[in-house]
A and B are shown apart, each in its own frame.
Chain A
């Protein structure tokens, strides 16, 4: 009986032992959006001036693209059209929806999240614009219409003379997968912290549009194309190792 009590005491005292945890960070890629500052008037390549009143984009998914997975990525590009507003995150993708108000961002980077991919070579990143869901970051009472739209633009367009300004309204509700290639592959073979900046240059959204000739549908189509091409993935400048 004496030994029984000793054993019980020893076992119970083990429960009081301190825990110890050591965490080693692995491969991490910080992703941030970097919208361009919005000027008072955007001058297009055809000479029009666009005075923006509202300009917003909603992004629902960011995904790293492997260099050696072209076929799979093509499939994902197709299936992206079926994407839903609130996507699940994985080590190579962020499913955190975000509404970016380009009128207020003024060139300030917006942190999207951290990807934790497995080792490999990554050649690009895919950003999917899509209508926001109800708990999207950046969604307010003033921009609730972003639950229906991927891109929303409102403003006035003036020609070169500045006379007879016309109203501009573009509401793009379709899902916009935008694939961007890095200028160099990201090669991960060990724990490292990398960062990717996704630049959004909405000053180019109205290039190639002849507002005097095109109807609103054609204008919206061209803006959709321009939104896709206005995104650019930028890596930090690589040190030369000297």
Chain B
């Protein structure tokens, strides 16, 4: 199992190289701005194509300690591609491969490897201050999460609770807006995103979720940038077979610190640590430190 895990991580980091082995370009040169941006934050430029592999790790504790607590450790390997058919549009596709280790209070464990829910997003720049190397971008975002994750079932064929699933198994529309400011060496990114899940696995309905991200970036050198930000998320309660799941809903605010590096013209590395600062999650639900590390390849 450990070997498989290692292979997946390596695959996540090397996939962009294998896809774009023959390509060559300098991403930041093409858009006229040296700001280092990860996938989703970038300036659209016609025919710009980027791939990425990202590994995310997070911990959750759900339920009352020593009574009915479930501990969840999750690693998501997200493979993504973002393509800009014009200077105003960016289309992105992200496919997660999920590893979940769910531990119960009686020392029972479920170790799950599964594909998650495929996510498609379209970003349209609706306003910019100038065409080349814009300093201000306002974009609208729309998207959809597809129920591509497999459904885990028990020995009787009954779907397991959502904690054991790699995805929600539902069609989840996404809508939002973002603002980006580029003022070398500073940049700011702010985004408001809403996710509106429909009924999914095991008669479960995850509540709608609103996420607000504000990131400031300082790039003292062309090859390295520092990020500091805040991520806020507020969730509606979830329902299982019509009954409210008491450990869902509420809001949480993370403080984030990140690094973005450019070891090569076409390769961008990034690392982010998100620390929960304010947790007002309903019921017995505690989220822990979240770590993200990834690689972006400019094709």
Where the two chains meet, the residues of A that have a C-beta atom closer than 8 Å to any C-beta of B are 1, 3-4, 6-8, 10-12, 14-28, 90-92, 116-119, 190-191
Instruction: Please determine whether A26 and B110 come into contact, CB atoms closer than 8 angstroms.
Output: no
Q: How far is the CB of B95 from chain A (nearest CB, A)?
A: 4
Instruction: Please determine whether B107 and A190 come into contact, CB atoms closer than 8 angstroms.
Output: yes
Residues of B within 8 A of A18 (CB): 150
Of chain A, the residue at the smallest CB distance from B66 is A118
Residues of B within 8 A of A12 (CB): 95, 118
Interface class of chain B by DSSP: mixed
Residues of B within 8 A of A6 (CB): 19
Alpha-carbon distance A4/B112, docked complex (angstroms): 30
Alpha-carbon distance A18/B152, docked complex (angstroms): 11
Q: Known: A4-B83, A19-B112, A20-B113. Is A11-B106 also a contact (CB below 8 A)?
A: no
Instruction: Please determine whether B97 and A17 come into contact, CB atoms closer than 8 angstroms.
Output: yes
Residues of A within 8 A of B109 (CB): 23-24, 26
Residues of A within 8 A of B118 (CB): 11-12, 15
State which residues 28-75 of B face A: CB under 8 Å: 47, 49, 51, 66-68
Judge whether B79 is part of the interface by a CB distance below 8 angstroms: yes
Contact of A118 among B79, B106, B113, B146 (CB under 8 A): B106
Residues of B within 8 A of A116 (CB): 104-106, 108
Can you name 20 extra interface pairs (CB under 8 A) apart from A21-B113, A24-B110? A3-B299, A7-B93, A10-B19, A11-B79, A11-B80, A12-B95, A14-B95, A15-B95, A17-B115, A19-B152, A24-B107, A24-B108, A26-B104, A116-B106, A116-B108, A117-B105, A118-B66, A118-B106, A190-B107, A191-B107
Q: How far is the CB of A64 from chain B (nearest CB, A)?
A: 11
Alpha-carbon distance A28/B93, docked complex (angstroms): 44
Instruction: Please determine whether B68 and A19 come into contact, CB atoms closer than 8 angstroms.
Output: no
Instruction: Please determine whether A27 and B107 come into contact, CB atoms closer than 8 angstroms.
Output: yes
User: A14, A16, A17 — which one has the most chain B CB atoms within 10 A of its CB?
Assistant: A14
Chain B residue total in the interface (Cβ 8 A): 40
Q: Known: A19-B166, A90-B68, A91-B68. Is A11-B111 also a contact (CB below 8 A)?
A: no
Residues of B within 8 A of A7 (CB): 19, 49, 51, 81, 83, 93
Q: Which 7 A-B residue pairs are closest in the complex by CB-CB distance?
A: A26-B108, A19-B114, A7-B81, A26-B106, A26-B107, A15-B148, A116-B106
Residues of B within 8 A of A118 (CB): 66-67, 105-107
Where the two chains meet, the residues of B that have a C-beta atom closer than 8 Å to any C-beta of A are 1, 4, 15, 19-20, 23, 47, 49, 51, 66-68, 79-81, 83, 93-95, 97, 104-115, 118, 146, 148, 150, 152, 164, 166, 299
Q: How far is the CB of B45 from chain A (nearest CB, A)?
A: 14
Residues of A within 8 A of B152 (CB): 19, 21
Residues of A within 8 A of B4 (CB): 20
Instruction: Please determine whether A8 and B81 come into contact, CB atoms closer than 8 angstroms.
Output: yes
Alpha-carbon distance A119/B69, docked complex (angstroms): 13
Contact of A15 among B106, B108, B115 (CB under 8 A): B115
Residues of B within 8 A of A92 (CB): 67
Of chain B, the residue at the smallest CB distance from A18 is B150
Instruction: Please determine whether B95 and A4 come into contact, CB atoms closer than 8 angstroms.
Output: no
Contact of B93 among A8, A25, A90, A191 (CB under 8 A): A8
Of chain B, the residue at the smallest CB distance from A29 is B106
Residues of B within 8 A of A3 (CB): 19-20, 23, 49, 299
Of chain B, the residue at the smallest CB distance from A189 is B107
Instruction: Please determine whether A10 and B79 come into contact, CB atoms closer than 8 angstroms.
Output: yes
Residues of A within 8 A of B49 (CB): 3-4, 7
Of chain B, the residue at the smallest CB distance from A117 is B106
Q: How far is the CB of A90 from chain B (nearest CB, A)?
A: 5
Contact of B112 among A1, A14, A20, A24 (CB under 8 A): A20
Residues of A within 8 A of B79 (CB): 10-11, 14
Of chain B, the residue at the smallest CB distance from A22 is B111
Alpha-carbon distance A122/B106, docked complex (angstroms): 13
Alpha-carbon distance A122/B267, docked complex (angstroms): 58
Of chain A, the residue at the smallest CB distance from B118 is A15
